[in-house]
Amino acid sequence: MPSTAATGQESTTFAARELTKRFGARTALNAISFELVPGELVAVIGPNGAGKTTLLSMLAGVQRPSSGEVTLPPERIGWVPQQPALYSKLSVAENLRLFARLEQLADPEAAVTTMLAQTDLEDRADEEVGRLSGGNQQRVNIAIGLLSEPSALLLDEPSSSLDPRQRERLWSFIGGLAGRGTTVVYSTHNVAEAERYADRVIVLADGELLFIGTPTELEATVGGDPRDFEAAFVRFLHERGH
């Protein structure tokens, strides 16, 4: 399900320039740079410890980079952490209302209503979040990330705790967002999800940016069976010494 990015306007909305993060002597991310266009769906993939979550945290403004910059300010970026960042004792509507007020939106109630409709959670609005299924909690989690109608949405492993049916609904929803012009960047361990839904993939390993391009381009760099993207990805990492 490729997004409409490649076919629409190609102006850059979101860029990272020489992003570096050090924890003491250890370099978690080393001079990462890329540019994304509106409506683009980008997957960040890589082995464990590659720096995927660190990259998304810095793009979201949760962590400060040791050096480098992100072109969009945090308030124009929606952030969906891996674990649902919700208050389990509050209802769905109360969670949305709280963050709408903290975001200082002009009309918090309207934003809550819109998000409940977009995430198809109107019937569960008054239910405590702690009683929702993992899939519905993730929908609320994403809805909060979208409250301010951001230019870009960052999702850290959004489908990791979902069953196949919930995953399908999630990607359908995210595809809709990208279709409406929101740049979406997500990290995932599921390489098949990257191939299936992403316009481009960013491959990280040990804090280094190894590749940015379409899944097809990644397969082309290593050759082999074009029907097996995961094998191509593993071969790619192996060839790069990871």
Of the residues 2, 61, 179, 181, which one makes contact with another protein according to CB under 8 A: 61
What is the spatial distance between Cα 219 and Cα 32, in angstroms, rounded to a whole number? Answer: 22
Name the minimum Å distance from CB 89 to another protein: 5
Q: What is the DSSP string of 221-239?
A: HH-S-TT-HHHHHHHHHHH
Q: Does 125 bind another protein (CB under 8 A)?
A: no
Which of 90, 222, 231, 234 contacts another protein by CB under 8 A? 90
222 counts as binding another protein under rule CB under 8 A: no
Position among 8, 20, 87, 175 found at the interface with another protein (CB under 8 A): 87
Is 231 one of the binding residues for another protein (CB under 8 A)?
no
Distance from C-alpha of 102 to C-alpha of 163, rounded to nearest angstrom: 32
Cα 215 to Cα 32: distance, rounded to the nearest angstrom: 19
**Binding segment toward another protein, per CB under 8 A, in 40-48, 74-82, 216-224, 233-241:** 74-82
Helix (H/G/I), strand (E/B), else coil: 120: coil
Site string for another protein, 135-154 (x = CB under 8 A): ---------x----------
Q: How many CB atoms lie within 10 A of CB 23?
A: 9
Q: Give yes or no for residue 105 binding another protein (CB under 8 A).
A: no
- Verify binding: residue 102, another protein, rule CB under 8 A: yes
Computed on alpha carbons and rounded to an integer, the radius of gyration of the chain in Å comes to 18
CA-based nearest residue to 57, from 66, 106, 209: 66
Q: Is 72 in the site for another protein (CB under 8 A)?
A: no
To another protein, the closest distance from the beta carbon of 8 in angstroms equals 28
Order of all β-strands in the sheet with 67-70: 26-36, 14-23, 67-70
Binding site for another protein (CB under 8 A): 57, 60-63, 73-75, 79, 81, 83-90, 94, 98-99, 101-103, 128, 144
